Amino acid sequence: MGEISEGLEQLLYTQPVPSTTANQLRALLRWERGSTRQVAALLGVSQRTVQRWVTRKAGSSRRPSARHEQTIADLVRARWQPRVRARRRAEAEERGVVVHTRARFGFRAGAGSSDDPRLRLITAHLPGAVTREMFAALEAGAGEKQHELILSRALGHAYFRGSGQRAHGLQVVLGDIDFIGFALL
């Protein structure tokens, strides 16, 4: 996942998704009411394997493989706070979001202007239509370049062109994102 995709994902949660595999396994077990058999069926492994992964005895430091760790992380992310995610997404798509970023912005404009990219710290409101487009791209599995294109077009309109009041024809190019964060209004 890229920085923009991760920022959009974080926007949807009120609590962070468990980051360690052990905490993710505990979450899966909690959702399956402690049944290692159900968790094993979800992951496609034996019940004994899941039991080894969650055992806290000294000397039993068996860990899931990288492939299983990714499967566990994907399952937890998909099941984490479903109602909260739906509510926050609907709110973001209706009202829009505030984006706070430090990134390198360049321009494509008429003669006489400097198009050299500069590092800028920007906080701007993005309307709900842009937020819907970004979530649709996220669901479609679009890459980071597609998200950068959507975001550069939206920030160009909202910040650099003053919501269409000035600098007509200015095209903003976004690159080298230092950090990015999204917040609900």
**What pLDDT is stored for residue 86 in this prediction?**
94
**What pLDDT is stored for residue 156 in this prediction?**
81
Q: Are 10 and 99 in contact (CB under 8 A)?
A: no
User: Per the domain annotation, does 2 fall within a domain?
Assistant: no
**What pLDDT is stored for residue 91 in this prediction?**
94
Measured distance CA(154)–CA(109) in Å, rounded: 16
Measured distance CA(181)–CA(101) in Å, rounded: 6
Classify residue 58 by its DSSP letter: T
Same domain, 175 and 154: yes
Same domain, 99 and 55: no
Q: Is 7 helix (H, G, I), strand (E, B) or coil?
A: helix
Domain boundary among 79, 103, 128: 79
Residue with more model confidence, 106 or 151? 151
**What pLDDT is stored for residue 111 in this prediction?**
61
pLDDT in tens, 137-169: 998 988 888 998 898 888 887 777 666 666 566
**What pLDDT is stored for residue 88 in this prediction?**
95
Same domain, 120 and 167: yes
Q: Are 40 and 46 in contact (CB under 8 A)?
A: yes
Same domain, 177 and 146: yes
Total number of domains constituting the chain: 2
Share of the chain above pLDDT 90, in %: 45
**What pLDDT is stored for residue 119 in this prediction?**
81
User: Per the domain annotation, does 84 fall within a domain?
Assistant: no
User: Per the domain annotation, does 68 fall within a domain?
Assistant: yes
Q: Are 72 and 78 in contact (CB under 8 A)?
A: no
Please name the helix (run of DSSP H) or strand (run of DSSP E) that holds residue 177, with its range, or none.
strand 171-184
Distance of alpha carbon 73 from the chain centroid:
14
Same domain, 46 and 113: no
User: Per the domain annotation, does 3 fall within a domain?
Assistant: no
Same domain, 40 and 116: no
User: Per the domain annotation, does 97 fall within a domain?
Assistant: yes
Classify residue 114 by its DSSP letter: -
Same domain, 100 and 67: no
User: Per the domain annotation, does 179 fall within a domain?
Assistant: yes
Same domain, 111 and 147: yes
Same domain, 112 and 150: yes
User: Per the domain annotation, does 85 fall within a domain?
Assistant: no
Please name the helix (run of DSSP H) or strand (run of DSSP E) that holds residue 104, with its range, or none.
strand 97-108
Same domain, 120 and 156: yes
Same domain, 124 and 172: yes
Same domain, 117 and 161: yes
User: Which residue range(s) make up the domain with 45?
Assistant: 18-79
Confidence of residue 108 (pLDDT cuts 50, 70, 90): low
User: Per the domain annotation, does 107 fall within a domain?
Assistant: yes
